[in-house]
Amino acid sequence: MNGLQIGLLVIAVLAILIVLLAVFSPRRFVRGFMRPILATLYRKRVVGLENLPQDRGYVIASNHVSWIDGILLLWMLPKNVRFVVDGANFNSRIGGYLGRAFDTILMYSGPKSIGRALKTAREGLSNGDVIGIFPEGTITRTGQLQAFKPGIQKILKGTNAAIMPVWLEGMWGSVFSFSGGKFFFKWPTQFRRTLTLYIGPPLEGDAPLELVRSHVQSLGARATIEQRDKFPTLARRVIRVWRKKGSIVQCADSMGTEVTGRELLTRVLALRRVLRRDVLDRDESTVAILLPPSVGGVATNIALTMDRRVTANLNYTVSSQVMNHCIHEAGIKHVLTSEKFLSKLDLQLDADVVLLESLKDKVTTWDKAVAFIQAVLLPAAVLDRVLGLHKIDKDDLLTIIFTSGSTGMPKGVMLTQANISHNVDAIERAVRLNYQDVVIGVLPFFHSFGYSVTLWAVMTLGPTGVYHFNPLDARQIGKLAAKYKASVLLGTPTFLRSYLRRVEPEQFATLDVVVVGAEKMPAELFDAFEERFGVRPVEGYGATELSPLVSVNIPPSRSAAKYQADRIEGSVGRPLPGIGARIVSPEDGSERLSGQDGMLMVTGPNVMKGYVNQDELTRKVVQDGWYVTGDIANVDDQGFLHITGRLSRFSKIGGEMVPHLRVEEEIAKVYGCKSGKEAACGSAEESDIEQPTVCVTAVPDAKKGERLVVLHLPTSKTYDEVRAGLISAGLPNLFIPSSDSFLEVDKIPQLGTGKLDIKGAQMVAKQHFGEV
């Protein structure tokens, strides 16, 4: 037998062995075939293997991001996983073969088939098998964790098996995920992805479904925190977006300034050179900006960021005393502003004031030439290194945002590159801002929502930003929206009421996304806005300390949901991708179940670095990576957050938590107002800012702990009539203030931002009533 014959014989034997292996041991055959392929395409990492039980069966409960999640879990876990799947997906010969190879449990429609599948899964658990299920029942379209279906509880019924919450991180952006708004037909965002499987501690089989979901969501937040370095550096992303925009308008404002992407990049790079050379000290880390939302405000913020400085946008609605407190806390030397804007403010600042108009003469021909070369000719990767942007770390401080000060002096919230970049990524997934959008920017940049979304999200995701300095100047906003064909509007319910009265429907004709936050959206405002402008607003939720976005309802025009709701009116939406939220008892910290009110805790890469110069306070509000929001909320059975009040706006009376806002709303109804929090009883034409007419606060009470106090504007209603109205509304006795607990005032205390001054209201009440 010659060499050729021997070779052919060897090949024949191998072929026979492969066929036999494929027929009699399909699992080994498929694993042997798939493992090298998966290892070539992906790197794998498993965290928490030690959590897997060795003495009993368990159910794997995983998030669901891509079409091949099941294959990946089979590759990453040490034992075979018997997935419970829709049998219709395995009707082909290949599908049937693969299903048999891994003992997959096929479930078809109809009660008998479902019953057989559940019985098979339970028997498997009793025999020590691993059962796999994707409790969402469908692939996520945004990366958000959706509602969990009750099938997992039916499988576990009557067994002693455990539930293993797991999170598979790394598949969003792949061709198998819905990133970019479609499956498959797109370029992947990276090659040879690193996939990490996070395995949490086991839960008992009778654990409530919402608790299982909470644990899976927390693993997702942990995964995103640990891999936050994957979020793009904002300044580098701006360069690429503005270059792509080229001669298309990138930014405009109501003062008549309009610039293209190329022009804006050139101006920003020239401004950076002048500030660096003629204004700022080399070691000056934090620089203040005192500018309204405008092209100048955008350019100044990004010029400083490209110079790797920390920005602090100052709140121009506060007094000199408060502003100087912020300047001192942040160690600010220079405040950048404009002469025209500063002249409208009565401020005495403890810092060197730099008027941007004075810098025009300092821009040399050489500065313009260098800026043009950098903006237009230099490769982006080279420009990154020239500017030192490659040295920016994910945890480097990006900005300091000062809180509104509703409970005292403003606190400086330190937000990092990763904090804001995560928010931008979340907006991209949920609202899907793109190059065709035009965003009306009326939120000031000293407000975290305005800074993160109308500044950074707009400048890094491709939309055109159109800015106006006064969010209540409805007529001018309507003109801008019509001129630039605005598609996205971000604001508050108070702003929307103003637009209802003074914006013509044709001016908002191109709007298809309206997102509101900061205040509770009154139910009737949804209908009124949609009836007039043809677009239904959605609510979101956030906090300055959370960069600020936590959750949002998906706008109807941007929804890609199938089989799962992604918007529930009255809620503030589901937590955004990478964010974990849980509701705990304020008394003992135990996690609350669906529909139960408690303290809202949030974790994720959006949690602030801390408060400036207040380490003790930082440790108090950030506990083991979870931010204590101070908001009382609940999560419904679909995973949507519902905010019911602030802890600071609750009183503990006779051992029960009494919500101030609920009492305010009912008193306002008796007075004939739409909302005790925001709407005035007077003429709507008197002011664009709707002043509160009622405020409920509390003073200490020796017998019951606290006593409700009502501050109110003059009214014709008697206190007995108000109390009778509260009784008719069905409020418990503890919720009804006594007749001697009402105080007529000329004005309800408010901050410069229009928010209720909680501390000021408490002081007024204590001065009048004292401690009882």
What DSSP letter does each residue of 98-147 carry, written as one string? HHHHTT-EEE-SSHHHHHHHHHHHHHHHHTT-EEEE-TTSS--SSS---P
Question: Which positions ≥6 away from 658 have C-beta within 8 Å?
Answer: 650, 651, 652, 708, 734, 735
Question: Which positions ≥6 away from 487 have C-beta within 8 Å?
Answer: 436, 437, 438, 439, 463, 510, 511, 512, 513
Return the closest-CA partner of residue 746 out of 715, 716, 709. 715
What's the Cα-to-Cα distance from 575 to each of 51, 413, 547, 585, rounded to whole Å?
Answer: 26, 21, 13, 20
Q: What is the per-residue DSSP string for 546-584? A: GSSEEEEPPPGGG---SSS----BTB--EEPTT-EEEEE
| pLDDT at residue 646 tops 50 | yes
Architecture of the 3-226 domain: 3-Layer(aba) Sandwich (3.40)
Structure-model confidence comparison of residues 749 and 370, the more confident one? 370
| pLDDT at residue 559 tops 60 | yes
Question: Where residue 515 falls among pLDDT bands split at 50, 70, 90?
Answer: very high
pLDDT of 739 reads: 81
pLDDT of 688 reads: 47
Dist. CA 250–CA 466, nearest whole Å: 9
Q: What is the pLDDT of residues 213-257, one digit of tens each?
A: 999 999 999 999 999 988 999 999 999 999 999 999 999 999 989
Question: Where residue 466 falls among pLDDT bands split at 50, 70, 90?
Answer: very high
| pLDDT at residue 395 tops 70 | yes
Instruction: Look up the CATH superfamily of 234-642.
Output: ANL, N-terminal domain (3.40.50.12780)
pLDDT of 684 reads: 35
pLDDT of 33 reads: 66
pLDDT of 676 reads: 40
Q: What is the pLDDT of residues 67-95, one digit of tens each?
A: 889 889 988 998 888 888 776 666 666 65
| pLDDT at residue 620 tops 50 | yes
For residue 175, the one-letter residue type is V
Q: Give, in words, the CATH class of 654-769.
A: alpha beta
Can you tell me the mean pLDDT for 537-557?
A: 92
Instruction: Name the strand (E) or helix (H) holding 363.
Output: none
Can you tell me the mean pLDDT for 287-306?
A: 96
pLDDT of 753 reads: 54
Where is mean pLDDT largest: 471-475, 497-501, 504-508? 504-508
Structure-model confidence comparison of residues 271 and 186, the more confident one? 271
Dist. CA 171–CA 455, nearest whole Å: 28
Each domain of the chain, given as residue ranges in start order, spans 3-226, 234-642, 654-769
Question: Which positions ≥6 away from 611 have C-beta within 8 Å?
Answer: 411, 412, 413, 414, 617, 618
pLDDT of 66 reads: 92
| pLDDT at residue 5 tops 70 | no
Structure-model confidence comparison of residues 112 and 627, the more confident one? 627
Where is mean pLDDT largest: 142-146, 382-386, 747-751? 382-386
Can you tell me the mean pLDDT for 406-435?
A: 88
Can you tell me the mean pLDDT for 552-557?
A: 91
Please state, rounded to an integer, the average pLDDT across all residues of the chain.
Answer: 86
For residue 416, the one-letter residue type is T
Q: What is the pLDDT of residues 670-723, one digit of tens each?
A: 776 544 443 334 333 334 445 678 888 888 876 667 888 888 888 888 888 888
pLDDT of 116 reads: 83
First to last CA, the chain: 110
| pLDDT at residue 99 tops 70 | no
Where is mean pLDDT largest: 96-105, 394-403, 425-434? 394-403
pLDDT of 10 reads: 53
**3-state helix vs strand vs coil in the chain, percent to 5:** 40, 20, 35
For residue 130, the one-letter residue type is V
pLDDT of 28 reads: 57
Return the closest-CA partner of residue 272 out of 235, 242, 327. 235
Specify the DSSP class assigned to residue 277. I
Can you tell me the mean pLDDT for 732-755?
A: 78
For residue 664, the one-letter residue type is E
Counting Cβ atoms within 10 Å, is residue 562 exposed (0-12), middle (13-18) or buried (19+)?
A: exposed
The answer to whether 3-226 and 654-769 have equal CATH topology is no
pLDDT of 314 reads: 94
| pLDDT at residue 324 tops 70 | yes
Q: What is the pLDDT of residues 18-38, one digit of tens each?
A: 454 445 445 555 666 677 888
